Amino acid sequence: MPKDTYYLTAHCPGSLGTVDVVTRYLHEQGCYVVEMQTFDDVLSEHFFIRAEFRPPAEQPFDEAAFRTGFAPRAAGFAMEWRLAASHDRPNVVIMVSRLDHCLNDLLYRYRTGQLPIEIPAIISNHPDLQRLADWHHIPYYHLPVSDDNRAEQEAEVMGILNECEADLVVLARYMQVLSPELCARLKGRAINIHHSLLPGFRGDNPYHQAYHKGVKLVGATAHYINNDLDEGPIITQGVEVVDHSHYPEQLIAKGKDIECMTLARAVQYHIEHRVFLHNDKTVVFAS
């Protein structure tokens, strides 16, 4: 994979020339397109494009000049656009409760470089995973929460996010419902993971409920948070077939594995600027 690539992402009303305005400008700048994906939503009449490109090797890439040159061309199509570098490492704050499988998986991918991110803080409403954070030399904030102190606790959470200059928040099995105010402030930059069992099983012991109903599919959904519990815009999902031979403990283990993979994939898609959030729905250019 070539190093030092850049992402140019844009969306705008669908019209003739939207692909050309991007590809022509990249060609004029001597940029080599590594990957290009587009989608024209005929229902909303909206166009989406993502180009990953490598600048000319002969001289340093001038991001400011690139932005200045592209801006008037994008304006002609009412494009909302963004330029980002693949070598940038966004600040990702992880929130977790007691279950450690998703946190542990993300920390492993962070430690080995599979996820090119920085983790400036881990926030939890329980003290249980302090040692795991300490081992990775990541500050761990234990912020207990109840109905009596929820507003104060969320204010502390927001203070930490601001101090860390968090680009993304990952709820790695954070078992608390966020307030509408916090959901609004984190719109488009907070990812949650939850199990996906069909039919839906809520409350305690969902896998035991699923076992007694003879569940045939176990899965997980990663989505951006909103004020509707577990119903935010979906980024990615994972699923595996199971049958009568899977006891509750095996369903739980399989579910945890799927949650880890699905959450990590969602984080990867987000930091690689593969996800467009448009009208509370996602357009995702999968890798």
Q: Which one from 41, 100, 128, 230 is the annotated catalytic residue?
A: 230
Neighbours of 231 (CB within 10 A): 12
What separation in angstroms does the CA of 173 have from each of 45, 101, 199, 205?
A: 36, 9, 21, 15
Q: Where do runs of H (alpha helix) occur along the chain? A: 18-28, 63-75, 101-111, 130-135, 150-164, 180-185, 206-212, 248-271
- Residues 274, 265: Cα–Cα separation, whole Å: 11
- Is 41 marked active-site? no
Neighbours of 83 (CB within 10 A): 14
Q: Token match 């509707």: residue?
A: 228
Give yes or no for a contact between 238 and 258, defined as CB atoms under 8 angstroms apart: yes
Q: Which amino acid is at 178?
A: L
Which tokens hold the place of 118?
A: 């920085």
Which tokens hold the place of 280?
A: 């509370």
Give yes or no for a contact between 73 and 59, defined as CB atoms under 8 angstroms apart: no
The number of residues in the chain equals 287
Q: Which residues are part of the catalytic machinery?
A: 230
